[in-house]
Chain A
Amino acid sequence: MDNTDEILKRILFAKDSRSLLKKRLKDEGFASLSLSLNIAGYPKTTKEIATFFFLILEQFKIFLLANRIEIANEYNQLDEAGNFFLCSIIPDNRTIHSIKQLCEDFEDHHELGRIIDIDVADSEGNYISSGKNKLCIYCGSYSALECMRSKNHSYEDIRKYIFEKIESYLIVQKRDKVCSQLASLASRAILYEISLTPKPGLVDFSSSGVHKDMDFHSFIDSTAAIIPYFFKIAEKGFQFTQPLSYALPMIRETGLVMENEMFKVTKGVNTQKGIIFLMGVAVFSSAFQISSKGSFSLAEFSDFTKEIGLDVLNELDIKNFDTTHGKICVEKYGKSVGGGARQEVANGFSTAIVYGLPILDGCKLEKLNSSEKHTILLNTLTSLIANSNDTNVLYRSNLIVLEELKKLASNTLNSLSEEEKRHNFEILEEFCLKKKISPGGSADLLAITIFLHFVKKTNYHDC
């Protein structure tokens, strides 16, 4: 008996045992549903095919649930005929034919439906046939059975074709999942930051701080307006293959649309220009990291951000497009002190990484209760105020005020007791109100820190 015979024997044996499993369900009086893949040749499964199978299975189960088809007795097995799922159908007032029709719809509407094989058998064990003659997945011009029997295409060709389809499907799925996740984490980080109450001089839930033209709802409105675009920026980062100098204009292209959306809902008030820029870069860099390296490394993220930020300070010298606080402060105080958000990007978010992240790391932020979250986030913000040159502050005051603010933030951090801390924080708050300053740059860095904390803790291998 040669090798091919031996393989065929094993595949047929696997089909026998699948059939017996189905028979068992029939004997218990159940109709059954099974899902497998049409993989030509041998082996019937690989690591990638298995990943694809479980992805489809997940989609199929959601489809069943959405259509209120209740299932039980789930079997999941891998045999020589490939990956296989079987379950019984809990009877309802629908006919088995209408359930078969729904399964056909699932196959028909799925991009790779021709690779998916869903069988339906009634409670007597009879297979329900759609009576359709499906077209060959490879050529699409003849019936699949006809091409198979006539050996119109070689197994190698069909396998190569199917593998390519599956591979590109998995890439798109992973991209969508990673990008949705990054967009969601960016949104969460911004919402955490704006909700943190109280914040010195800044807009928070209970006060507008030193601001007269915006309140908490201005931030809710502009956050909601910019959220959809983080997904687009993540997609750009995930698919980025061009030279590094192309990155910043690409991010900015979406960033400018976000600014417009922000100004529309705030009626011209700049609530979040800084975070649009910073979070845009952070999301882009993270997505690029995850797609090119398969995982997220903070060091590589920081290096990549530095590289795409190389020109971000220099362009201030030559272009006159910008009238941000950062630009004005650079003219007044030089790049290293007055560089603002641009300086943060050029440094690869070092302030957030060095002075923010260590405070959040070591705790699972999402698992803390509200009051614990509040304490740790406020500590992080205070540390960022103490260690950054906030151009929002500098723009509205001067270097002496900035240094005093940093000192007051340090005092708060270095308090020996909770009572002293509360007291020092009140001094910090009063100072901001008195000097009419609002450390918005530090608040942006808090959002970046929270984002990085979550991105670091997410596992991207399962995507």
Chain B
Amino acid sequence: MVIKQQAQAGTFESSDMLVLVEPVSEGTGRVIELHSPVMVQFGKSIKEEINNALDEYEIKDVRLICNDKGALSATISARVETAIRRALQIQDGVLPS
């Protein structure tokens, strides 16, 4: 599916993650920017979890900015999924008011 608009999910609370999704021109691929306090040890596995969520919605081109505050896998999947669904306009709330 194709990302049409900017959207956001999550918070800066502890054990959470703030995810921002932006459309990019076709063919750009997935541009993932991850900021995490456990980047060195877990950067790879967090990116894998993000990619799994993007795979589920068959997103090829996207810019995704993640600010991790110590989120666990289930939280990462949930937050990324909500951001994608908002960007695809299949869930309410684009940017939290």
Contact = CB atoms under 8 A, between A and B. Distances in A.
6 contacts: A5-B74, A12-B75, A15-B11, A19-B96, A119-B14, A149-B45
Contacts of B42: 146, 149
B16 A145 contact: no
Contacts of B10: 12, 15-16
B75 A8 contact: yes
Given A12-B16, A12-B78, A19-B12, 10 more contacts: A5-B74, A12-B79, A19-B96, A36-B14, A38-B14, A121-B12, A145-B37, A145-B38, A148-B72, A149-B42
* CB-CB nearest 10 A-B residue pairs: A19-B11, A15-B13, A145-B70, A127-B12, A145-B38, A15-B11, A149-B42, A15-B16, A8-B74, A117-B14
B38 A4 contact: no
B41 interface: yes
Contacts of B45: 149
A121 B14 CA distance: 13
B41 A16 contact: no
B56 to A, nearest CB: 14
Contact of A4 (B13, B16, B74): B74
A16 B13 CA distance: 9
Interface string A4-26: 11001100100110111001000
Interface residues of A, number: 25
Contacts of A23: 96
Given A16-B96, A117-B14, A146 B74 contact: no
A16 B96 CA distance: 9
Contacts of A119: 12-14
B78 A149 contact: no
- Dominant SS at the A interface? helix
A275 B1 CA distance: 86
Contacts of A4: 74
Q: Which of B37, B45, B96 has the most CB of A within 10 A?
A: B37
A133 interface: yes
Contact of A146 (B12, B38, B72, B78): B38
Interface string A131-156: 00100000000011110110000000
Contacts of A148: 15, 70, 72
A148 B96 CA distance: 28
Given A15-B11, A18-B11, A133 B37 contact: yes
Interface of B: 10-16, 37-38, 41-42, 45, 70, 72, 74-75, 78-79, 96-97
Contacts of B75: 8, 12
Contact of A18 (B13, B37, B41, B70): B13
Contact of B41 (A12, A117, A144, A149): A149
Contacts of A121: 12
Q: Which of A18, A36, A127 has the most CB of B within 10 A?
A: A127
A19 B79 CA distance: 14
B15 to A, nearest CB: 8
B37 to A, nearest CB: 6
A36 to B, nearest CB: 8
A117 B70 CA distance: 13
A9 B75 CA distance: 9
Contacts of B74: 4-5, 8
Contacts of B41: 146, 149
A127 B16 CA distance: 13
Contacts of A5: 74
A274 B75 CA distance: 67
Nearest to A131: B37
A149 B14 CA distance: 13
A316 to B, nearest CB: 65
Q: Which of A12, A16, A119 has the most CB of B within 10 A?
A: A12
A386 B13 CA distance: 69
A171 to B, nearest CB: 28
A12 B72 CA distance: 12
B13 A8 contact: no
Nearest to A142: B41
Contacts of A127: 12
A358 to B, nearest CB: 57
A185 B16 CA distance: 49
B19 to A, nearest CB: 12
Interface string A417-449: 000000000000000000000000000000000
A149 B96 CA distance: 27
A23 B97 CA distance: 9
A149 B38 contact: yes
A8 B75 CA distance: 7
Contacts of B16: 12, 15
A74 to B, nearest CB: 18
B13 A19 contact: yes
Contacts of A145: 37-38, 70
Contacts of A81: 13
B79 to A, nearest CB: 7
Nearest to A12: B78
A104 to B, nearest CB: 14
Contacts of B96: 16, 19-20, 23
